[in-house]
Amino acid sequence: GQYYAVQTLRQLFVHSGNDSWRVAGVQVSDYPSMPLRGTVEGFYGQPWTHAERLDQMDFYGDVKANTYVYAPKDDPYHRDKWRDPYPADKLAELGELVDRATANHVRFTFAVSPGESVCYSDPADREALKDKLQALYDLGTRAFSIPLDDINYTRWNCEADQAAYGEAGAAAAGKAQVDLLNDVQRTFVATHEGTWPLQMVPTEYYNNSESPYKRALREALDPAVEVMWTGVDVVPAQITEEEAEQAAKVFGRKVFLWDNYPVNDFGNTSGRLLLAPYDKREPGLSDHLSGIVANPMNQPFASKVAVFGAADFTWNDRAYDPRQNWRNAMSYLAGGDREATEALLVFGDLEHMAPTFGATPWQPQAPDLARRTAEFWKEWDEGDRTGAVSALRSYATAVRQAPAIIRGGAVQKGFATDAAPWLDATALWGEAMVTMLDALAARQTGDEETSDRLLAESNDLQRQARAVRVDPPRNSWGAVQPKVGDGVLDTFLLQADLRLQLWDSTGGAQNLAPQGTASASSVELDLDRLAPRHVNDGNMETRWASGYTDDAWVQIELAAPTKVAAVTLAWEGACAAEYAVQTSQDGVSWKTVSTQRPSSCGNDAVRLTADEAVRYVRMQGVERKTTWGYSIHEMGVYGTPAA
């Protein structure tokens, strides 16, 4: 308590000049809403380095987090080789980490995950597990966890478990796990001085529905054991009091939330840093949870943005303000430097997208930039073109300058290292945006030659930005394109490009797809929510999805014959490895006007030669990238109606 009081006092001091500070007169009543607050290093892919973990312990002390769970999936001694003792050099590192955590009042929680090979009823395996825990206890560890997630509980690892617990299945697995966990809690944890209650991750960690497995845990698991839970999905769009209360009922105790944000180790996060604020967790969760640990990204310094919020939320969930906390997090990373804080907020807006395992992200991409570009086109179309360019160019300049400011020294160096490919790409995207706005301004004044030159320069900068790769990657995505404001920044540039190309055409840069009628060769499972009409409804939260064939297609019948200049496709995760854009005047005879082989699922802009008016535009699948069908959020058609 005294340690945290000092941290609060430190936070009250604010820079008022180069060497001056000020502090308000206050009376403080300050204590945490939740007893367990911090992170779980539980991602797949390259684990953090020892130096990065040491830095994290200092960071947790700063933000009054008190829990760190050591559970990196790709540490072989955590999972595959759980029976084997750590080598001496690794054990020494862990000892140093335990000491640094303790110095910051952080509970270093050692997790070992035996579920893939353990024989639950085997005394030798139980002793091997306790020996592993004892080695860390000897280093000063006083908190332990046994995760049993991401394993198959429909088969046994040994014949003895079949005899001890019956036919393999959910209920038998629950019984076997309870037997093991109770043994560890009662004969190891409870008999070792100073230990905290054992933690565990159940195999059914991702919902709150009743089941034979949960019933086995509820009825027989030692009441002292903490049970972790991720919400009503692996990556939930929200977590409510009602959901947490139901989870407490089915597990028979308050649950300990393993929050899979900002973790970026799954397919829908490919190419992404997740820098949106910690959000969509309902005030009042402290009544139903014993705590929250955020599962961070493979990038430890970039993870501090969301972890800063999780720590704030768990300290006082009812007073938590995500937008204010986001600014505070950026200020922390910037060491209080105002210019660097603003640069981080601009960059963070471009990395705001927070995907789920499903089709709909739970946080939108670039909300500030999206608002500004919408205002730009409104002012432009209403006639205030000079004012529109001036306002947006100022923000585009901030985008262009943000990477250099972030790398300028005020921001924690590790953040710039984590974000390096994204910063490289942002500098190019920002320059492309400034140049495109200058091209619009030049064309508005009648200087077509300068406008054409600037347009070509912007397009070249965009090609350079798309060529940037996260390489070598820390994640398991491979060398992919870093995504920067995708769906917003690139869409604006495409719209501006079309305005310039079709400058003398009435309505040439308007998306004509919403006025058309969509149809498709098939719909996944004949589900109405995946029907063709969703591909041109103007809503990025809906989508069309096909049946599971390579030759599936979706098309739009335009309201009038049109000279089509471009087609845009906003793909969901089930995209095409190859597809063709086809046009037709009658819906019977088709002409392939472009063949595309995108490197990743994202937003495609296909430029066409608008040499003849057509009535139909089709995406014709050639080869799927996944075993699913094709899935598109929105299909846009840009051109000039022949009339």
* Average pLDDT of the segment spanning 386-412: 97
Asked which of 475, 501, 527 is the last residue of a domain, the reply is 501
Q: What is the pLDDT of residues 275-298, one digit of tens each?
A: 999 999 999 999 999 999 999 999
Q: Are residues 84 and 208 in the same domain?
A: yes
Helix spans in 138-297 (H): 159-165, 170-184, 212-220, 241-251
Q: Are residues 497 and 588 in the same domain?
A: no
Q: Are residues 629 and 566 in the same domain?
A: yes
pLDDT of 170 strictly over 90: yes
CATH number at residue 530: 2.60.120.260
- pTM as predicted: 0.84
How far apart, in whole angstroms, are the C-alpha atoms of residue 550 and residue 411? 48
Q: Are residues 89 and 179 in the same domain?
A: yes
CATH number at residue 457: 1.20.58.460
pLDDT of 18 strictly over 70: yes
Q: Are residues 287 and 371 in the same domain?
A: no
Band of pLDDT at residue 509, cut at 50, 70 and 90 = low
pLDDT of residue 599: 82
Band of pLDDT at residue 327, cut at 50, 70 and 90 = very high
Residue 451 structure tokens? 């406008």
**In 360-478, beta strands by DSSP E:** none
Q: Are residues 250 and 108 in the same domain?
A: yes
Is there a domain that residue 43 lies in?
yes
Is there a domain that residue 20 lies in?
no
Q: Residue 550: CB partners within 8 Å, gap ≥ 6?
A: 621, 622, 623, 624
| Residue 354 β-bridge partners | 363
Q: Are 369 and 396 in contact (CB under 8 A)?
A: no
Phi, psi angle pair for 21, to nearest 5°: -135, 155
Residue 552 structure tokens? 């599936």
Is there a domain that residue 143 lies in?
yes
CATH number at residue 261: 3.20.20.80
Q: Are residues 412 and 533 in the same domain?
A: no
pLDDT of residue 260: 97
Residue 392 structure tokens? 């947006």
Pairing, β 553-571 against β 517-520 = antiparallel
Q: Are residues 315 and 215 in the same domain?
A: yes
pLDDT averaged over every residue in the chain: 94
Is there a domain that residue 15 lies in?
no
* Average pLDDT of the segment spanning 396-403: 98
How far apart, in whole angstroms, are the C-alpha atoms of residue 26 and residue 23? 9
Q: Are residues 462 and 541 in the same domain?
A: no
Question: How many domains does the chain fold into?
Answer: 3
Q: Are residues 181 and 40 in the same domain?
A: yes
Q: Are 188 and 110 in contact (CB under 8 A)?
A: no
How far apart, in whole angstroms, are the C-alpha atoms of residue 393 and residue 49? 40
Band of pLDDT at residue 506, cut at 50, 70 and 90 = very low
How far apart, in whole angstroms, are the C-alpha atoms of residue 326 and residue 516? 41
How far apart, in whole angstroms, are the C-alpha atoms of residue 429 and residue 466? 9
- At 322 the three-state DSSP class reads helix
- At 357 the three-state DSSP class reads coil
Q: Are residues 479 and 623 in the same domain?
A: no
Residue 287 structure tokens? 């009544």
Q: What is the pLDDT of residues 220-270, one digit of tens each?
A: 999 999 999 999 999 999 999 999 999 999 999 999 999 999 999 999 999
| Residue 68 β-bridge partners | 39, 108
* Average pLDDT of the segment spanning 595-606: 85
For residue 223, with 0-12 CB atoms within 10 Å meaning exposed, 13-18 middle and 19 or more buried, which class applies?
Answer: exposed
Task: Determine the number of helices (DSSP H) and then strands (DSSP E) in the chain.
Answer: 17, 18
Band of pLDDT at residue 505, cut at 50, 70 and 90 = low
Q: What is the pLDDT of residues 23-44, one digit of tens each?
A: 867 777 889 999 999 999 999 9
pLDDT of residue 55: 98
Domain that holds residue 476: 367-501
Band of pLDDT at residue 507, cut at 50, 70 and 90 = very low
Q: What is the pLDDT of residues 423-450, one digit of tens each?
A: 999 999 999 999 999 999 999 999 999 9
Is there a domain that residue 65 lies in?
yes
Distances in whole angstroms, Cα of residue 107 to Cα of each of 67, 334, 544? 5, 27, 47
Q: Are residues 174 and 315 in the same domain?
A: yes
